[in-house]
Amino acid sequence: MMKVNRVRTSRTKKKYESPDSPTSVGWTRPYTVRLADENKPLLLDCGEELAPIDVEYEIYGQMNEKKDNVILLLHALSGDAHAAGWDETADEMGRTWRTDRPGWWDTMIGPGKALDTSKYCVICSNVLGGCYGTTGPASINPGTGKPYGLDFPIVTVGDWVRLQERLITHLGIERLYAVVGGSLGGQQALEWSLAYPDRVERAIILASSARLSAQGLAFNVVARNSILNDKNFNNGKYYDDEFPAQGLAIARMLGHITYLSETSMREKFGRRYRESGSRPGFHLGVDFEVESYLQYQGQSFVARFDANSYLYITRAMDYYDAADWGDGDLEKACSRAKAKFLLVSFSSDWLYTPEQMKELSFALYRNRKNVTYVDIPSTYGHDAFLLEVDKLTPIISKFLKGGIAHGI
């Protein structure tokens, strides 16, 4: 059995909306469905076929009779299908970190919220290669009877979307009212609009771009190397031994630096010392508040994520380039799209910059696509798509109702 020190946070439900609140989706539970088997494997971009594949997903709100009110929500790197409400299966599934908080976008999903579940049915599934119920490196390889580890094939954003299409088809949905995603989820939303243009009516892409920058690639390289060089990594075969906690924690710490802006880090931490007031402690341990924050983020992440999944998901992030649909020409690729687009960037995001989102908006605009681009002033950095609830809600709500927010 994989050995991991589980970290319970000090946060409590009092910080969040109660499941009994009229604007909460309440208590939720995941569903699991097998979408690929030996008779119908999933052909991957790497050339391999994969089966079996199980997919975990959650549903909020009700599908109408025509099933034309469905919004597919796509999660980012460390997200999962539990996007809203309180997971009633958290303890029995061993996902104890969920017991003291709702889903990762709970502030945006529910009656009267941006993704209004009194009008829309919201579906969110875990990506292939992840570690939250959908088949991934920790799943049992039917050929060996042991976890796949690094024998799991390389997967791409395109593979994820083709698997999501199987889920949507399985649920009897012909056309999605909208696809919505932030960060890596935004790239999945973009891929949906290009891979299945006739099945997407609207696409909402937040804090994302058509491709990851060279700087973004560089951060992912360093993060993966921290895992690969952990003494406990054992070529990905650590499930019955010590977990590569240090490597994964460092990868997460590095990631969090890219999620925050310089302004937000200055406001949250500055150069304040953790315990010794305005003077240094004269040691090599945790002395600054920012050190304490990053250490906490790394340790808590180790308690809920798989190191191999981190490798596979960041590699899929690296490989994605929407221009591939146009033989390297983004404008040509965007000619495929038929959806109405809402693109939102955040002024202080330096992982997926406003300039990158403008590039995508111009490529769509030059194809005479229906596109609204909004750049939201924010000091939160990349995390703004999770935190700027008051600014995002009216923009998304109006767009979903058929209106144009306010373009640039």
Q: Which residues contact 105 (CB under 8 A, 6 or more apart)?
A: 73, 83, 84, 115, 386
Q: Would you mind telling me the total number of residues written for the chain in this entry? A: 408
Residue 8 belongs to a domain:
no
Q: Are residues 390 and 264 in the same domain?
A: no
Domain of 169, CATH number, reads: 3.40.50.1820
In a domain, 337, yes or no: yes
Q: Is position 321 annotated as part of the catalytic site?
A: no
Marked catalytic residue, from 349, 375, 383, 397: 349
Same domain, 97 and 185: yes
Which two structure tokens, joined as six digits, stand for 235?
């070529």
pLDDT in tens, 191-210: 999 999 999 999 999 999 99
Tell me whether residue 349 is one of the annotated catalytic residues: yes
- Residue ending a domain, among 313, 343, 376, is 313
Mean pLDDT across 367-375: 97
Of 290, 313, 336, the one marking the end of a domain is 313
Task: For residue 41, give the DSSP letter.
Answer: P
pLDDT in tens, 85-131: 999 999 999 999 999 999 999 999 999 999 999 999 999 999 999 99
Mean pLDDT score, 290-314: 96
Residues 74 and 147 in one domain: yes
Share of the chain above pLDDT 90, in %: 91
299 in a domain, yes or no?
yes
| Residue 153 pLDDT > 90 | yes
Q: What is residue 56's three-state secondary structure? A: strand
Say whether both 204 and 57 belong to one domain.
Answer: yes
202 strand-pairing partners: 340
What are the beta bridge partners of residue 220?
A: none
Q: How far apart are CA 200 and CA 208, in angstroms?
A: 18
Position 2 pLDDT exceeds 50: no
Q: Would you state the pLDDT for residue 375?
A: 97
Reported pTM: 0.94
pLDDT (average), residues 26-36: 98
What's the domain range around 285? 218-313
Residue 6 falls inside a structural domain: no
With H, G, I as helix, E, B as strand and everything else as coil, classify residue 340: strand
- Active-site residue, 264 included: no
Rounded to whole angstroms, the Cα distance separating 3 from 12 reads 26
Q: Is the pLDDT of residue 8 over 80?
A: no
Q: Is residue 119 exposed (0-12), middle (13-18) or buried (19+ Cβ within 10 Å)?
A: middle
Count other Cβ atoms within 10 Å, centred on residue 401: 9
Query: 141 Cβ partners below 8 Å, 6+ apart?
Result: 147, 148, 151, 152
- The count of structural domains within the chain is 2
Average pLDDT, the chain: 94
Q: Where does 68-156 have alpha helices with state H?
A: none
Cα(56)–Cα(124) distance, rounded to whole angstroms? 9
Does residue 227 belong to any structural domain of this protein?
yes
Mean pLDDT of 359-375: 97
Distance CA 406, CA 389 (A): 17
Q: What is the CATH number of the domain that holds 237?
A: 1.10.1740.110
114 CB-near residues (< 8 Å, 6+ apart)? 108, 389, 392, 393, 396, 397, 400
Please indicate, yes or no, whether residues 193 and 342 belong to a single structural domain of this protein. Answer: yes
Residue 277 lies in a domain: yes
Taking residues 65-79, what's their average pLDDT? 97
Higher pLDDT, 275 or 231: 231
Identify which has the larger pLDDT, 225 or 8: 225
Residues 164 and 39 in one domain: yes
Both 42 and 169 in one domain: the answer is: yes
pLDDT at 1 over 60: no
284 has pLDDT over 80: yes
168, 229: one domain: no
Q: Is residue 1 part of a domain?
A: no
Question: How many percent of the chain have pLDDT more than 70?
Answer: 95
DSSP state for residue 341 in the 8-state scheme: E
Backbone angles phi, psi at 54, to 5 degrees: -105, 145
pLDDT score for 404: 62
Please indicate, yes or no, whether residues 158 and 100 belong to a single structural domain of this protein. Answer: yes
Domain's final residue, options 279, 313, 347: 313
At 281 the pLDDT is 87
Separation between Cα atoms, residue 241 and residue 233, nearest integer Å: 9
| Bridge partner list, 28 | 87
Same domain, 326 and 297: no
| Same domain? 128 vs 164 | yes
- Among 78, 125, 183, 300, the one annotated catalytic: 183
Residue 10 — very low, low, confident or very high, per pLDDT cuts 50/70/90?
very low
Residue 408 lies in a domain: no
Mean pLDDT score, 56-84: 98
Q: In terms of Cα–Cα distance, which of 372, 383, 379, 393 is closest to 182?
A: 383
One domain, residues 51 and 128:
yes
